[in-house]
């Protein structure tokens, strides 16, 4: 059998081709990403062998116990000791995965990035359509007066960071164990999943709620899994690629926008998060929810008028030049 020689190589190439094809024929892609999206940026994941849960915490507590609401309230000093050493990576930079997703969004195909990561790397790369399920270490707020602080403020303070206005404890705007996810984030994620014609699930073992359950809202089986290890969804998916997320995405998302893609962009209907507007205001959460909502809202707003404006401009121009001609 001649296929035996190059079996794995050719299979991998086939899969890359298939994924390219799937992306090509899709108009409404949703990306669901986990820690594996950021590992290539030097941020450890939680559950793999070298992950945070399996390495020394440097304290007498287990990492999984530290990242919890009650623990934070009772031992903010131990929490921050661990947090600053293990959970924040202010110097991490976007990798090939983040950059490929920016291209896919600009090509008008990617409508939502649902991420479990708290590292801000999608936004730093330039993505607009990001739904942060677990919050972001880049946003922090005073638990007493609500004043907001950036990551530098947290990193610069020794021990537990305190508010420079009222002295209250400042906490990261991330979802700890025992805490609920923001409703509108989950809503928006589900809405996007329901609308999508292709769902790419990458860099996640799919063991964390609610990410694992999003796929059940799909009305089709157009799921692609890109993950180093296998997941329970592998057999359900249309295509499964066991590889680095960044390398795969870099290969399948064209660097330049093709004519076909450009056409898809202009004809694309309402982007995903336009619905955020209606749900954003119903939030009952006390913290920085509005900031999140506006971030999601910006996406369609920024994209659509831009396209319209340029159209309007050209027609205005041509009509005015016509008027001029008529005058003369
Ligand atoms: Zn304060």
Domains of the chain: 5-256 (3.40.50.1220)
Give the pLDDT of residue 257.
Answer: 59
Report the 10 Å Cβ neighbour count for 66: 23
- The predicted pLDDT at position 286 comes to 37
Q: Tell whether the model's pLDDT for residue 267 goes beyond 60.
A: no
pLDDT average, residue stretch 124-130: 97
Report whether pLDDT(273) > 60: no
Task: Report residue 173's pLDDT band, with 50, 70 and 90 as the boundaries.
Answer: very high
Highest average pLDDT, of 41-45, 254-258, 323-327, comes from 41-45
Dist. CA 140 → ligand 1 center (Å): 11
- Spatial separation of the C-alpha atoms in residues 109 and 290, rounded to whole Å: 26
Which positions are annotated as active-site residues?
134
d(CA 36, CA 44): 8
Q: What is the pTM of this model?
A: 0.74
Residue 141 CA, ligand 1 centroid: distance in Å? 8
pLDDT at position 192 = 97
Q: Which is more confident, 286 or 188?
A: 188
Residue range 82-104: mean pLDDT, rounded = 94
pLDDT band at 53 (very low <50, low <70, confident <90, very high): low
Strands (E), 10-85: 29-33
**Shortest CA distance to 109 belongs to which of 17, 220, 24?**
24
Identify the helix (H) or strand (E) that includes residue 65: helix 63-66
Cβ of 294: how many Cβ atoms within 10 Å? 13
Share of the chain above pLDDT 70, in %: 71
State how far Cα 173 lies from the chain centre.
16
* pLDDT value, residue 316: 38
Distance 72 CA to ligand 1 centre (A): 17
State the average pLDDT over residues 121-137: 96
Query: Given pLDDT bands bounded at 50, 70 and 90, which one contains residue 161?
Result: very high
Average pLDDT over residues 1-6: 36
Query: First vs last Cα of the chain: how many Å apart?
Result: 79
Per-residue pLDDT for 237 more than 70? yes
Instruction: Determine the average pLDDT of the residues in 250-271.
Output: 63
- pLDDT for 180 equals 93
Task: Tell me what pLDDT residue 279 has.
Answer: 37
| Cis preceding linkage at 92, omega within 30 | no
How many other C-beta atoms lie within 10 A of the C-beta of residue 197?
A: 17
Cα 149 to middle of ligand 1, angstroms? 10
**What's the 118 CA to ligand 1 centre distance in angstroms?**
23
Region 165-171: mean pLDDT is 97
**Measured between alpha carbons, how far is 151 from 139 in angstroms, rounded to an integer?**
7
pLDDT, position 232 = 85
Q: Where residue 269 falls among pLDDT bands split at 50, 70, 90? A: very low
The rounded mean pLDDT for the chain is: 79
pLDDT tens digits, 298-314? 333 333 333 333 333 33
What is the structure's pLDDT at 234?
86
227 touches 200 (CB < 8 A): no
Please tell me the predicted confidence (pLDDT) of residue 23.
96
Whole-number Å distance, alpha carbon 170 to ligand 1 midpoint, is: 7
């Amino acid at each position: 059998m001649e296929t035996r020689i190059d079996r794995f190589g050719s299979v991998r190439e086939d899969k890359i081709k298939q994924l390219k094809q799937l992306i090509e024929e899709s108009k409404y892609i949703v990306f669901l990403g986990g820690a594996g999206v950021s590992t290539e940026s030097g941020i450890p994941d939680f559950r793999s062998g070298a992950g945070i849960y399996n390495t020394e915490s440097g304290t007498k507590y287990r990492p999984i116990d530290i990242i919890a609401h009650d623990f934070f309230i009772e031992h903010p000093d131990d929490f921050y000791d661990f947090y600053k050493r293990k959970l924040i990576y202010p110097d991490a930079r976007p990798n090939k995965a983040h950059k490929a997703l920016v291209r896919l969004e600009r090509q008008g195909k990617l409508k939502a990035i649902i991420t479990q990561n708290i590292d801000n790397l999608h936004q730093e790369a330039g993505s607009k359509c990001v739904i942060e399920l677990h919050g972001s270490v880049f946003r922090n707020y005073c638990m007493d007066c609500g004043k907001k602080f950036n990551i530098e403020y947290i990193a610069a303070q020794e021990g537990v960071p305190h508010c420079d206005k009222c002295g209250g404890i400042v906490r990261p705007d991330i979802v700890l164990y025992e805490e609920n996810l923001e409703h509108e984030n989950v809503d928006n994620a589900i809405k996007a999943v329901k609308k999508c014609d292709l769902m790419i699930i990458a860099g996640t073992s799919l063991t964390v709620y609610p990410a694992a359950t999003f796929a059940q809202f799909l009305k089709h089986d157009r799921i692609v899994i890109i993950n180093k290890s296998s997941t329970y969804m592998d057999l359900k998916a249309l295509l499964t690629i066991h590889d680095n997320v960044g390398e795969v995405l870099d290969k399948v998302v064209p660097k330049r926008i093709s004519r076909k893609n450009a056409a898809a962009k202009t004809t694309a209907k309402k982007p995903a998060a336009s619905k955020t507007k209606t749900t954003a205001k119903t939030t009952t959460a006390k913290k920085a929810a509005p900031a999140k909502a506006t971030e999601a809202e910006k996406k369609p707003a920024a994209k659509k008028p831009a396209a319209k404006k340029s159209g309007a401009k050209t027609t205005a121009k041509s009509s005015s030049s016509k008027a001029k001609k008529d005058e003369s």
